[in-house]
Amino acid sequence: MTESQLPKTQVVIIGSGIGGCIAALALAPYYSVTLIDKDAEPQNKVGESLAPAAIRILKQLNLQHLLSDPRHIVSQGTLSYWGSDEPTLIDNLKNPDGFGWHLDRAYFEKQLREACYTANIHTIWPAQLVDSTKTSHGWKVTYQHNAHAHQLISDIVIDASGRHCVFARQQGIARHQFDKLMSIGFTANLNITKNVAVISHTDDSWWYSAPLHQNDLNAGIYQQKRIFSWYAEPHIIKAAQIHTPQVLLQRAQHVTGLGALISQLDHSSATLHPMLAANSSKLESCSGNAWFAIGDSAISFDPLSSQGMFNAMASAMQLSELLINNGLTHTDNRHIYQQQVDKIWQSYLAHRALYYKMVS
Protein backbone atom coordinates (compact mmCIF):
# COMPACT_ATOMS: atom_id res chain seq x y z
CA MET A 1 0.00 0.00 0.00
CA THR A 2 1.44 3.43 -0.87
CA GLU A 3 1.65 6.09 1.82
CA SER A 4 -1.21 8.10 0.32
CA GLN A 5 -3.46 5.02 0.60
CA LEU A 6 -2.77 4.37 4.29
CA PRO A 7 -5.38 5.28 6.94
CA LYS A 8 -4.84 8.87 8.08
CA THR A 9 -5.15 10.53 11.46
CA GLN A 10 -4.04 13.99 12.57
CA VAL A 11 -2.67 12.90 15.96
CA VAL A 12 -1.46 9.47 17.01
CA ILE A 13 -0.81 8.97 20.72
CA ILE A 14 1.37 6.05 21.82
CA GLY A 15 0.23 4.91 25.27
CA SER A 16 -3.16 5.24 26.93
CA GLY A 17 -2.01 5.76 30.51
CA ILE A 18 -3.16 8.89 32.31
CA GLY A 19 -1.07 11.22 30.12
CA GLY A 20 -2.14 9.64 26.81
CA CYS A 21 -5.86 9.58 27.67
CA ILE A 22 -5.88 13.18 28.94
CA ALA A 23 -4.13 14.40 25.75
CA ALA A 24 -6.58 12.41 23.59
CA LEU A 25 -9.59 13.86 25.42
CA ALA A 26 -8.27 17.44 25.24
CA LEU A 27 -7.44 17.23 21.51
CA ALA A 28 -10.41 15.18 20.28
CA PRO A 29 -12.82 18.16 19.88
CA TYR A 30 -10.32 19.77 17.47
CA TYR A 31 -8.46 16.98 15.65
CA SER A 32 -8.83 13.35 14.61
CA VAL A 33 -7.01 11.37 17.29
CA THR A 34 -5.86 7.73 17.31
CA LEU A 35 -4.85 6.30 20.69
CA ILE A 36 -2.93 3.03 20.88
CA ASP A 37 -1.77 0.95 23.84
CA LYS A 38 0.08 -2.34 24.12
CA ASP A 39 -2.34 -3.62 26.79
CA ALA A 40 -5.93 -4.67 26.11
CA GLU A 41 -6.84 -3.40 29.59
CA PRO A 42 -5.16 -1.06 32.09
CA GLN A 43 -2.67 -2.98 34.24
CA ASN A 44 -2.20 -2.68 38.00
CA LYS A 45 0.47 0.01 38.27
CA VAL A 46 2.13 1.29 41.41
CA GLY A 47 1.50 4.93 42.26
CA GLU A 48 -1.90 5.86 43.61
CA SER A 49 -1.61 9.21 45.43
CA LEU A 50 -3.17 11.85 43.20
CA ALA A 51 -2.37 15.49 44.01
CA PRO A 52 -5.40 17.70 44.85
CA ALA A 53 -4.63 20.02 41.88
CA ALA A 54 -5.61 17.20 39.47
CA ILE A 55 -9.25 18.14 39.99
CA ARG A 56 -8.65 21.40 38.07
CA ILE A 57 -7.62 19.47 34.96
CA LEU A 58 -10.48 17.00 35.23
CA LYS A 59 -12.90 19.94 35.59
CA GLN A 60 -11.55 21.48 32.37
CA LEU A 61 -12.45 18.23 30.61
CA ASN A 62 -15.76 17.90 32.48
CA LEU A 63 -14.53 14.67 34.04
CA GLN A 64 -14.41 15.63 37.73
CA HIS A 65 -17.15 13.07 38.49
CA LEU A 66 -14.62 10.26 37.85
CA LEU A 67 -13.07 10.93 41.26
CA SER A 68 -16.42 10.70 43.06
CA ASP A 69 -16.43 6.95 42.52
CA PRO A 70 -16.13 5.23 45.94
CA ARG A 71 -13.26 3.11 44.60
CA HIS A 72 -11.07 6.22 44.92
CA ILE A 73 -10.25 6.93 48.57
CA VAL A 74 -10.33 10.59 49.60
CA SER A 75 -6.92 11.42 51.06
CA GLN A 76 -6.82 13.63 54.13
CA GLY A 77 -3.11 14.26 53.69
CA THR A 78 0.33 12.90 54.48
CA LEU A 79 1.87 12.18 57.86
CA SER A 80 5.51 13.04 57.33
CA TYR A 81 8.44 11.80 59.43
CA TRP A 82 10.90 13.36 57.01
CA GLY A 83 13.94 14.41 59.01
CA SER A 84 12.09 14.17 62.34
CA ASP A 85 10.80 11.53 64.75
CA GLU A 86 7.78 13.76 65.33
CA PRO A 87 5.11 13.67 62.63
CA THR A 88 4.06 16.69 60.60
CA LEU A 89 0.62 16.45 59.04
CA ILE A 90 0.59 17.84 55.50
CA ASP A 91 -3.11 18.48 55.74
CA ASN A 92 -5.14 18.50 52.52
CA LEU A 93 -7.84 20.48 54.36
CA LYS A 94 -5.53 23.48 54.03
CA ASN A 95 -4.96 22.86 50.32
CA PRO A 96 -6.91 25.36 48.16
CA ASP A 97 -7.77 22.50 45.78
CA GLY A 98 -9.17 20.42 48.64
CA PHE A 99 -8.49 16.76 49.31
CA GLY A 100 -6.30 14.49 47.23
CA TRP A 101 -7.03 10.86 46.38
CA HIS A 102 -5.61 7.39 46.79
CA LEU A 103 -6.76 6.07 43.45
CA ASP A 104 -7.81 2.64 42.44
CA ARG A 105 -5.26 3.13 39.69
CA ALA A 106 -6.29 0.46 37.16
CA TYR A 107 -9.93 1.48 37.58
CA PHE A 108 -9.12 5.18 37.05
CA GLU A 109 -7.30 4.36 33.81
CA LYS A 110 -10.30 2.23 32.81
CA GLN A 111 -12.58 5.22 33.50
CA LEU A 112 -10.35 7.39 31.28
CA ARG A 113 -10.41 4.80 28.49
CA GLU A 114 -14.22 4.75 28.73
CA ALA A 115 -14.29 8.55 28.47
CA CYS A 116 -12.22 8.17 25.28
CA TYR A 117 -14.82 5.76 23.83
CA THR A 118 -17.58 8.23 24.71
CA ALA A 119 -15.64 11.01 22.95
CA ASN A 120 -15.46 8.80 19.82
CA ILE A 121 -11.68 8.70 19.88
CA HIS A 122 -10.26 6.00 17.62
CA THR A 123 -8.70 3.55 20.08
CA ILE A 124 -6.60 0.52 19.17
CA TRP A 125 -5.50 -2.02 21.81
CA PRO A 126 -3.67 -4.23 22.32
CA ALA A 127 -1.36 -2.55 19.81
CA GLN A 128 2.39 -2.25 20.22
CA LEU A 129 4.42 0.40 18.47
CA VAL A 130 6.90 -1.24 16.07
CA ASP A 131 8.41 1.55 14.01
CA SER A 132 7.88 5.18 12.89
CA THR A 133 9.31 6.95 9.85
CA LYS A 134 8.89 10.58 8.81
CA THR A 135 7.62 10.77 5.21
CA SER A 136 6.39 13.61 3.01
CA HIS A 137 2.81 12.65 4.02
CA GLY A 138 3.50 12.73 7.77
CA TRP A 139 4.66 10.10 10.27
CA LYS A 140 4.23 6.53 8.98
CA VAL A 141 3.55 4.57 12.17
CA THR A 142 3.73 0.76 12.18
CA TYR A 143 2.11 -1.15 15.04
CA GLN A 144 1.42 -4.79 15.83
CA HIS A 145 -2.26 -5.57 16.42
CA ASN A 146 -3.96 -9.00 16.41
CA ALA A 147 -0.69 -10.64 15.32
CA HIS A 148 -0.46 -8.44 12.20
CA ALA A 149 1.56 -5.35 11.36
CA HIS A 150 -0.63 -2.32 10.55
CA GLN A 151 0.32 1.15 9.38
CA LEU A 152 -1.18 4.61 9.54
CA ILE A 153 -0.12 8.13 8.60
CA SER A 154 -0.30 10.90 11.18
CA ASP A 155 0.52 14.63 11.13
CA ILE A 156 2.07 14.39 14.58
CA VAL A 157 3.04 11.73 17.14
CA ILE A 158 2.66 12.10 20.91
CA ASP A 159 4.83 9.70 22.90
CA ALA A 160 2.89 8.90 26.09
CA SER A 161 4.46 5.48 26.63
CA GLY A 162 5.81 6.24 30.11
CA ARG A 163 9.40 5.61 31.18
CA HIS A 164 9.84 3.30 28.16
CA CYS A 165 9.49 6.36 25.87
CA VAL A 166 9.33 3.89 22.97
CA PHE A 167 8.84 6.39 20.16
CA ALA A 168 11.58 8.78 21.33
CA ARG A 169 14.02 5.90 21.82
CA GLN A 170 13.31 4.71 18.27
CA GLN A 171 14.24 8.21 17.10
CA GLY A 172 17.58 7.80 18.91
CA ILE A 173 16.84 10.31 21.69
CA ALA A 174 18.95 9.68 24.80
CA ARG A 175 17.39 9.47 28.28
CA HIS A 176 19.37 10.81 31.23
CA GLN A 177 19.03 9.25 34.67
CA PHE A 178 19.74 11.57 37.58
CA ASP A 179 19.90 8.93 40.32
CA LYS A 180 19.46 5.18 40.78
CA LEU A 181 16.47 5.12 43.14
CA MET A 182 14.58 1.80 43.16
CA SER A 183 11.48 0.67 45.00
CA ILE A 184 10.23 -2.61 46.44
CA GLY A 185 7.03 -3.04 48.41
CA PHE A 186 4.28 -5.19 49.81
CA THR A 187 0.54 -4.88 50.26
CA ALA A 188 -1.32 -6.25 53.27
CA ASN A 189 -4.68 -6.08 55.07
CA LEU A 190 -5.04 -4.08 58.29
CA ASN A 191 -7.52 -3.97 61.16
CA ILE A 192 -7.64 -0.16 61.18
CA THR A 193 -8.62 2.56 58.73
CA LYS A 194 -6.24 5.45 58.21
CA ASN A 195 -6.87 7.59 55.12
CA VAL A 196 -3.52 9.31 55.15
CA ALA A 197 -0.23 8.47 53.49
CA VAL A 198 2.86 8.09 55.70
CA ILE A 199 6.39 9.07 54.66
CA SER A 200 9.39 8.26 56.81
CA HIS A 201 13.12 8.69 56.27
CA THR A 202 15.81 6.31 57.53
CA ASP A 203 19.61 6.70 57.33
CA ASP A 204 20.02 5.55 53.74
CA SER A 205 16.48 5.14 52.42
CA TRP A 206 12.86 6.14 52.88
CA TRP A 207 9.46 4.51 53.27
CA TYR A 208 5.99 5.24 52.04
CA SER A 209 2.64 3.76 53.00
CA ALA A 210 -0.84 4.54 51.66
CA PRO A 211 -4.32 3.04 51.70
CA LEU A 212 -5.52 1.12 48.64
CA HIS A 213 -8.97 0.27 47.41
CA GLN A 214 -9.82 -3.38 47.90
CA ASN A 215 -12.98 -4.94 46.51
CA ASP A 216 -12.90 -8.21 48.35
CA LEU A 217 -11.97 -7.01 51.85
CA ASN A 218 -13.94 -8.85 54.46
CA ALA A 219 -15.07 -5.77 56.42
CA GLY A 220 -15.83 -7.93 59.45
CA ILE A 221 -12.15 -8.82 59.75
CA TYR A 222 -10.16 -6.18 57.88
CA GLN A 223 -10.69 -2.45 57.56
CA GLN A 224 -8.15 -1.50 54.96
CA LYS A 225 -5.56 -2.69 52.48
CA ARG A 226 -2.32 -0.67 52.39
CA ILE A 227 0.85 -0.55 50.37
CA PHE A 228 4.24 -0.25 52.10
CA SER A 229 7.10 0.73 49.77
CA TRP A 230 10.79 0.97 50.50
CA TYR A 231 12.92 3.35 48.40
CA ALA A 232 16.70 3.05 48.22
CA GLU A 233 19.67 2.62 45.90
CA PRO A 234 19.71 -0.82 44.22
CA HIS A 235 22.76 -2.12 46.12
CA ILE A 236 20.99 -1.44 49.44
CA ILE A 237 17.83 -3.28 48.38
CA LYS A 238 19.79 -6.19 46.90
CA ALA A 239 21.90 -6.56 50.06
CA ALA A 240 18.69 -6.88 52.12
CA GLN A 241 17.83 -10.10 50.21
CA ILE A 242 14.10 -9.56 50.17
CA HIS A 243 12.69 -12.79 48.81
CA THR A 244 9.53 -12.88 50.93
CA PRO A 245 7.15 -10.13 52.10
CA GLN A 246 7.96 -11.06 55.71
CA VAL A 247 11.58 -9.89 55.35
CA LEU A 248 10.38 -6.47 54.19
CA LEU A 249 7.65 -6.38 56.82
CA GLN A 250 10.16 -6.97 59.61
CA ARG A 251 12.23 -4.08 58.31
CA ALA A 252 9.15 -1.82 58.11
CA GLN A 253 8.07 -2.42 61.71
CA HIS A 254 11.18 -0.63 63.04
CA VAL A 255 10.65 2.45 60.85
CA THR A 256 9.45 5.60 62.64
CA GLY A 257 5.75 6.10 61.99
CA LEU A 258 5.11 2.66 60.49
CA GLY A 259 5.22 0.50 63.64
CA ALA A 260 1.62 1.29 64.69
CA LEU A 261 0.31 0.36 61.23
CA ILE A 262 2.38 -2.81 61.05
CA SER A 263 1.08 -3.92 64.47
CA GLN A 264 -2.47 -3.90 63.02
CA LEU A 265 -1.54 -5.90 59.98
CA ASP A 266 -2.36 -9.50 59.07
CA HIS A 267 1.10 -10.88 58.26
CA SER A 268 -0.30 -13.79 56.28
CA SER A 269 -2.04 -11.38 53.87
CA ALA A 270 1.24 -9.67 52.89
CA THR A 271 2.08 -9.90 49.18
CA LEU A 272 5.48 -8.88 47.82
CA HIS A 273 5.72 -6.61 44.75
CA PRO A 274 8.75 -6.66 42.45
CA MET A 275 11.59 -4.13 42.42
CA LEU A 276 10.90 -1.11 40.20
CA ALA A 277 12.86 1.86 38.88
CA ALA A 278 11.80 5.02 40.71
CA ASN A 279 14.59 7.34 39.58
CA SER A 280 14.38 10.87 38.22
CA SER A 281 15.02 10.84 34.48
CA LYS A 282 14.54 13.06 31.46
CA LEU A 283 14.62 12.73 27.70
CA GLU A 284 17.39 14.81 26.15
CA SER A 285 14.75 16.33 23.82
CA CYS A 286 11.07 16.14 24.69
CA SER A 287 9.97 17.32 21.24
CA GLY A 288 11.20 17.15 17.67
CA ASN A 289 10.02 17.29 14.08
CA ALA A 290 6.22 16.89 14.54
CA TRP A 291 6.55 14.77 17.69
CA PHE A 292 6.25 15.45 21.42
CA ALA A 293 6.73 13.43 24.61
CA ILE A 294 4.42 13.90 27.61
CA GLY A 295 4.18 12.55 31.16
CA ASP A 296 6.81 10.03 32.28
CA SER A 297 7.96 9.65 28.71
CA ALA A 298 9.36 13.21 28.88
CA ILE A 299 10.33 13.48 32.56
CA SER A 300 9.88 11.06 35.42
CA PHE A 301 9.88 12.17 39.05
CA ASP A 302 11.00 10.66 42.34
CA PRO A 303 7.78 9.20 43.85
CA LEU A 304 8.55 11.28 46.96
CA SER A 305 7.00 14.17 45.03
CA SER A 306 3.67 12.33 44.46
CA GLN A 307 3.44 14.49 41.33
CA GLY A 308 3.97 11.91 38.55
CA MET A 309 0.30 11.44 37.64
CA PHE A 310 -0.41 15.15 37.97
CA ASN A 311 2.55 15.94 35.72
CA ALA A 312 1.26 13.42 33.15
CA MET A 313 -2.09 15.26 33.15
CA ALA A 314 -0.58 18.76 33.23
CA SER A 315 1.93 18.14 30.41
CA ALA A 316 -0.86 16.59 28.30
CA MET A 317 -2.97 19.73 28.82
CA GLN A 318 -0.06 22.12 28.23
CA LEU A 319 0.83 20.45 24.94
CA SER A 320 -2.81 20.20 23.84
CA GLU A 321 -3.34 23.91 24.47
CA LEU A 322 -0.32 24.72 22.30
CA LEU A 323 -1.49 22.44 19.48
CA ILE A 324 -5.02 23.82 19.59
CA ASN A 325 -3.92 27.49 19.64
CA ASN A 326 -1.05 27.27 17.11
CA GLY A 327 -2.18 24.40 14.92
CA LEU A 328 -0.53 20.99 14.80
CA THR A 329 2.42 21.73 12.58
CA HIS A 330 3.50 25.24 13.61
CA THR A 331 7.30 25.27 13.65
CA ASP A 332 7.45 27.08 17.03
CA ASN A 333 5.51 24.35 18.85
CA ARG A 334 8.48 22.09 19.54
CA HIS A 335 10.61 24.91 20.99
CA ILE A 336 7.84 26.39 23.13
CA TYR A 337 6.94 22.95 24.49
CA GLN A 338 10.58 22.09 25.21
CA GLN A 339 10.94 25.34 27.19
CA GLN A 340 7.82 24.51 29.19
CA VAL A 341 9.13 21.04 30.08
CA ASP A 342 12.58 22.41 30.96
CA LYS A 343 11.00 24.93 33.33
CA ILE A 344 9.01 22.23 35.13
CA TRP A 345 12.11 20.04 35.33
CA GLN A 346 14.25 22.82 36.86
CA SER A 347 11.58 23.59 39.43
CA TYR A 348 11.25 19.86 40.25
CA LEU A 349 15.03 19.47 40.70
CA ALA A 350 15.15 22.49 43.04
CA HIS A 351 12.33 21.07 45.21
CA ARG A 352 13.89 17.62 45.24
CA ALA A 353 17.26 19.05 46.35
CA LEU A 354 15.56 20.96 49.18
CA TYR A 355 13.78 17.84 50.43
CA TYR A 356 16.87 15.63 50.45
CA LYS A 357 18.92 18.41 52.09
CA MET A 358 16.53 18.22 55.06
CA VAL A 359 17.72 14.66 55.77
CA SER A 360 21.37 14.82 54.69
Ligand X SMILES: Cc1cc2nc3c(=O)[nH]c(=O)nc-3n(C[C@H](O)[C@H](O)[C@H](O)COP(=O)(O)OP(=O)(O)OC[C@H]3O[C@@H](n4cnc5c(N)ncnc54)[C@H](O)[C@@H]3O)c2cc1C
Which residues make up the interface to ligand X (CB under 6 A)? Answer: 14-20, 36-39, 45-50, 128-129, 160-162, 164, 166, 183, 276, 278, 295-297, 303, 306-310, 312
Q: With respect to ligand X, which residue has the nearer C-beta, 18 or 153? A: 18
Q: With respect to ligand X, which residue has the nearer C-beta, 81 or 208? A: 208
Q: With respect to ligand X, which residue has the nearer C-beta, 168 or 309? A: 309
Q: With respect to ligand X, which residue has the nearer C-beta, 85 or 204? A: 204
Q: With respect to ligand X, which residue has the nearer C-beta, 36 or 323? A: 36
Minimum distance, C-beta of residue 57 to ligand X, in the bound complex (Å): 13
Minimum distance, C-beta of residue 356 to ligand X, in the bound complex (Å): 17
Minimum distance, C-beta of residue 316 to ligand X, in the bound complex (Å): 8
Minimum distance, C-beta of residue 218 to ligand X, in the bound complex (Å): 26
Minimum distance, C-beta of residue 206 to ligand X, in the bound complex (Å): 12
Please write down the HEC assignment for all residues of the chain: CCHHHCCEEEEEEECCCHHHHHHHHHHCCCCCEEEECCCCCCCCCCCCEECCCHHHHHHHCCCHHHHHCCCCEEECEEEEECCCCCCEEEEHHHCCCCCEEECCHHHHHHHHHHHHHHCCCEEECCEEEEEEEEECCEEEEEEEECCEEEEEEEEEEEECCHHHCHHHHHCCCCEEECCCCEEEEEEEEECCCCCEEEEEECCCCEEEEEEECCCCCCCCCCCEEEEEEEEECHHHHHHCCCCCHHHHHHHHCCCCCCHHHHCCECHHHCEEEEEEECCCEEECCCEECCEEECHHHCEECCHHHCCHHHHHHHHHHHHHHHHHHHCCCCCCHHHHHHHHHHHHHHHHHHHHHHHHHCCC
